[in-house]
Amino acid sequence: MAILGIDEVGRGPLAGPLVMGAVILPEQYQPWFNELKDSKKLTAKKREELSSLILESSTTGLGWISASELDQLGISKALALATQKAVKQVQSLHIPFSQIIIDGKVNFLKNTPLEKFTTTCIKGDAKIPAISAASIIAKVARDNYMIKLATKYPKHGFDKHVGYGTKAHLEAIYQYGLTPEHRKSFEPCKSLSGFSPAKPTHKSTTTIGQQAEQAVADYLTNRGHTIVAKNHKTKFYEIDLISTRDNHIYFTEVKYRNSNLHGTPLDTITSKKQQQMNFAALSYLKYQNTKYKNHEPHLAAASVTGNLENPDSLKITLLPLT
């Protein structure tokens, strides 16, 4: 009886699906068996060649989990569901197997009827041909999906990094924002989730907000700052004030409250909001105004309390966030 080898591709990328491969190799020896190895150690051309041979002569299944499904399930449940999907495809072909071996050390078929037939093998994609084959067909299928995705989102370069967090991919996120294919539960996408590249989310610019921002702008100007932008909109966040002093540049969030009865305005600046401010500041320096790229950047928060109608009564506190 044959071995059903299982391996996944796409556990760690910031974008794109998770794909689980499942393969039962043919009983009769094939010359290309000797070429099977971990898909990451093969060239793209060799992976394509071997994938075609595997699909032509073997019993195969692929379990796909989209980025949005992964976000909802979490990585552990997503891996288990992808495994079950891949095995179900193989079972539908009615080819018998005696054992399932999953690459790694986690049995993704635990608590299923197949658990008793399943074992795991660390570095199985380098030791067991059926697992190597599973890694190859999953890798080729996922890479081809990402290459097609690049035609839909050409600015993100999915055909080059296939969703992994390379420097080029991170810069594309800073410059162009997220796509529906990005995993919102993975950082840095998690910090940006809820912010649409096409329709940036901006906070209200009410009269009260404008008055508070102007009060802080005057406060900074009196202390030697030069205001270079107000309410600067990026794909990720709206920066209230951007100012420079000497060789430093400050990105300031303004928070106003007419009293301190329920805490200070700065209490509303969460760590997530600070992360969003950081992405917006990076985007500004890299893409919107590169003349300040050599300035030392600072995130700051300005707390304004008091009566806005009486500027002399205002209390302004400026605190560094970085």
Q: Are 13 and 66 in contact (CB under 8 A)?
A: no
Sketch the domain layout of the chain as residue ranges: 3-176, 207-320
**Hey, what long-range contacts does 32-36 have (CB within 8 A, 24 or more apart)?**
33/129, 36/129, 36/132, 36/133, 36/136
Position with higher pLDDT, 182 vs 208? 182
Chosen CATH of 3-176 out of 3.30.420.10, 3.20.20.120, 3.40.50.720, 3.40.50.970:
3.30.420.10
pLDDT tens digits along 7-30:
999 999 999 999 999 999 999 999
Structure token digits, residue 214: 């102007």
pLDDT tens digits along 120-174:
999 999 999 999 999 999 999 999 999 999 999 999 999 999 999 998 998 888 8
**φ, ψ dihedrals at 18, nearest 5°:** -95, 135
* Sign, Cα dihedral of 88, 89, 95, 99: negative
Compute the radius of gyration of the chain from its Cα atoms. 27
Angle at 17 between CA 11 and CA 20, to 5 degrees: 65
Q: Quick check: 202 pLDDT over 60?
A: no
| Domain 207-320, classified CATH 3.40.1350.10, yes or no | yes
Q: Are 14 and 164 in contact (CB under 8 A)?
A: yes
**Cis ω before 188 (30° cut-off from 0):** yes
Other Cβ atoms within 10 Å of 290 Cβ, number: 10
The pLDDT of residue 301: 83
* Sign, Cα dihedral of 276, 280, 283, 285: negative
- Of 185-194, 223-232, 236-245, 259-268, give the lowest mean pLDDT range: 259-268
Structure token digits, residue 80: 């288990």
Distance (Å, rounded) from C-alpha 20 to C-alpha 144? 15
Q: Are 298 and 277 in contact (CB under 8 A)?
A: no
Query: How many helices and strands in the chain, by DSSP H and E?
Result: 10, 10
- The CA-based dihedral angle spanning residues 218, 223, 226, 228, taken in that order and rounded to the nearest 10 degrees: -50
The pLDDT of residue 193: 61
Nearest CA among 157, 152, 150 for reference residue 175? 157
pTM assigned to the model: 0.67
